[in-house]
């Protein structure tokens, strides 16, 4: 079945940086916003005209609901701040750092367990009406670079992601 499409995605970015001969600082913002105007798709079962519960009112080959339903991509947003800096500690040692906290949100309504009208009263209640999804991330990268010879440098890297 073809999926109907009526959604859009917006991306917003803003960055700035400032530097001198021995240091540089950069900061920025990234926002991603997705909105889907069609929450779910319902279709007709070509083998059923009415809902049934096996084996009471169904023929084995045609059991199931008269319709089917699937959820489509949920509305969501992600926002990140970015901070980065690099500076010379001495003539031979350079330090680079980047820190990026992020906030992600999604709150799409859940679909019922079934479209079968005969099973709906028997289905347990959903534990929640929607996800209420919120996640916070933090990415940090630190690098220390020092030249050993003209063509060889020593590099130490630490990465943290939560």
- Ordered structural domains, the chain, with CATH: 7-39+74-161 (2.40.160)
pLDDT number for residue 12 = 98
- HSE-CB at 102 with a 13 A cutoff on CA atoms is 17
Residues 81, 103: Cα–Cα separation, whole Å: 9
pLDDT number for residue 20 = 94
Residue located via tokens 């701040």: 81
Mean pLDDT by 10 residues, the chain (162 residues): 91 97 96 95 84 63 76 95 96 96 94 84 87 95 94 96 94
Q: CB of 104 within 8 A of CB of 78?
A: yes
Residues 4, 73: Cα–Cα separation, whole Å: 11
- 65 exposure class (CB count in 10 Å sphere: 0-12, 13-18, 19+): buried
pLDDT number for residue 56 = 59
Q: Which residues contact 8 (CB under 8 A, 6 or more apart)?
A: 34, 35
Residues 102, 31: Cα–Cα separation, whole Å: 10
Residue 55: cis peptide before it, omega within 30 degrees of 0: yes
């Amino acid at each position: 079945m073809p999926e109907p499409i009526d959604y859009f995605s917006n991306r917003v970015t803003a960055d700035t940086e400032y530097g001198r001969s021995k240091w540089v600082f950069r900061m920025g913002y990234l926002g991603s916003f997705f909105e889907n105007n069609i929450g779910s798709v319902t279709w007709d079962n070509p083998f059923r005209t009415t809902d049934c519960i096996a084996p009471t009112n169904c023929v084995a080959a045609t059991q199931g609901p008269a319709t089917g339903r699937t959820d489509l991509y949920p509305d969501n947003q992600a926002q990140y701040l970015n901070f980065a800096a690099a500076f010379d500690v001495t003539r031979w040692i350079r330090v680079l750092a980047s820190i990026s906290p992020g906030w992600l949100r999604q709150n799409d309504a859940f679909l019922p367990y079934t479209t079968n009208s005969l099973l709906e009263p028997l289905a347990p209640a959903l534990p929640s009406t929607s996800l209420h999804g919120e996640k916070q991330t933090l990415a940090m990268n630190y690098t220390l670079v020092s030249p050993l010879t003209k063509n060889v440098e020593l590099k130490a890297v630490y990465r943290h992601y939560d």
